[in-house]
Amino acid sequence: MKPALMAFALMLVATAMAQTAVETPSWVTPLPVAKVSVASGRPAKVQLRFKIANGYHINSNQPGSELLIPTKLQLNPPTDIGVGSITYPKGRSLTLAVAPDQPLNVYTGEFMIAAKVSAMRTATPGRYKVHGQLKYQACNDRSCFPPKLAPVEFEVSVLKPKAGTGTAHNPPQSPHAHK
């Protein structure tokens, strides 16, 4: 029984080593995000920057063909933080020798995606972490690779309301008060 157990253990180790050797590299690296501060109920813009490995490109969010996988940012904010519009940069046109009549729309080098974030009016002042992922398909001049996910994380600081700018509103006035 022990030889069978030993053979099974060796098979597991060999499988793990093979998977490690076959793991694909990460072609996109998220870069540090500048501090984002929001006042309760007001939007702010966060700029997420990414760096693509030299010699590679990724499809833009509008790659130019239904057969290509577009780049897509997904953000999962905590309860008191909202995510509004996400703005992708324009890609650049790239024509490859394997398909000279089909230009692609791609990102290369560094690129930035902007997103609007806001805090609910009831949000407690403090720091909140927003997690997410960037889905992309990397390619070089010869082939494309399976889609990957790059983790994204940034912090949003909800500011304390300024004195006198709380949620109190002027009471409704009668239209007859100024006759």
Q: Is the pLDDT of residue 100 over 70?
A: yes
Residue in this structure with the two tokens 């929001």, named with its chain if needed? 38
Reported as a single tens digit per residue, the pLDDT across 43-93 is: 999 999 999 999 999 999 999 888 889 999 999 999 999 999 999 999 999
Name the strand (E) or helix (H) holding 73: strand 72-76
Q: Is the pLDDT of residue 108 over 90?
A: yes
- Model confidence at 178, pLDDT cuts 50, 70, 90, reads very low
Reported as a single tens digit per residue, the pLDDT across 137-176 is: 999 988 889 999 999 999 999 998 776 555 444 445 545 5
Residue 112 near residue 90, CB atoms below 8 Å? no
The residue that leads in pLDDT, 16 or 38, is: 38
- Does the pTM surpass 0.85? The reply is no
The residue that leads in pLDDT, 20 or 24, is: 24
Cα end-to-end distance, the chain, whole Å? 101
Distance (Å, whole) CA 79 – CA 65: 36
- pLDDT for the residue 51: 97
